[in-house]
């Protein structure tokens, strides 16, 4: 009788003290088609350098018109400004400008000589502290931005 009680007690306690294992299905080997097709890497994985959270873009569009001596010329420009924060104190900016003259001619300037795509600004900004700021900048200013069609260092007439 003692043996029967001990065996019944052992059978009741044994399942509660043992741990169960969940066996997942074995991974099936990839087929030839699945092994050739891989998901494309996102832009943030490109050499670990580009992070879309640190990228910002702005757009601007301007139109101008010059009329003098019975002649006129128009100028249109579209600028795409791109900003990227490399590290906390370091960032870069690039401005690409598409400039064109939809109509008109002024002296020797024709519509085709005014149409171009160029980098109007490139800058590297570094701010290691609140009281120090270092900026390296390149600018290409269109010839008509400040003084009409005169060279940028010519005296005013």
- The pLDDT assigned to 7 comes to 72
Burial 68-98 (b: 16+ CB within 10 A, else e): eeeeebbbbbebebebbeeeeeebebebebe
Supply angle C-alpha 72, 74, 75, rounded to 5: 145
Q: What percent of the chain has pLDDT over 90?
A: 28
Single pTM value for the model: 0.56
Domain range list for the chain = 55-139
| pLDDT tens per residue, range 27-67 | 666 665 555 555 555 555 555 567 888 899 999 999 988 88
Range in 8-17, 81-90, 136-145 with the lowest mean pLDDT: 8-17
| pLDDT tens per residue, range 113-157 | 678 889 999 999 999 999 999 999 999 876 544 444 444 444 444
């Amino acid at each position: 009788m003692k043996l029967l009680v001990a065996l019944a007690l052992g059978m009741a306690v044994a399942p509660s003290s043992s741990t169960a294992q969940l066996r997942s299905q074995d991974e099936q080997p990839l087929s030839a088609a699945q092994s050739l097709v891989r998901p494309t890497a996102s832009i943030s994985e490109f050499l670990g350098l580009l992070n879309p959270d640190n990228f910002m873009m702005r757009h601007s569009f301007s139109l101008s018109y010059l009329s003098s001596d019975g002649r006129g010329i128009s100028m249109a420009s579209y600028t795409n400004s791109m900003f990227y924060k490399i590290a906390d104190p370091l960032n870069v900016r690039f401005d690409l400008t598409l400039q064109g003259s939809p109509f008109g001619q002024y002296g020797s300037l024709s519509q085709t000589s005014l149409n171009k795509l160029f980098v109007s600004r490139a800058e590297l900004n570094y701010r290691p502290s609140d009281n120090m700021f270092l900026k390296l900048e390149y600018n290409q200013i269109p010839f008509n931005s400040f003084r009409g069609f005169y060279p940028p260092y010519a005296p005013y007439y």
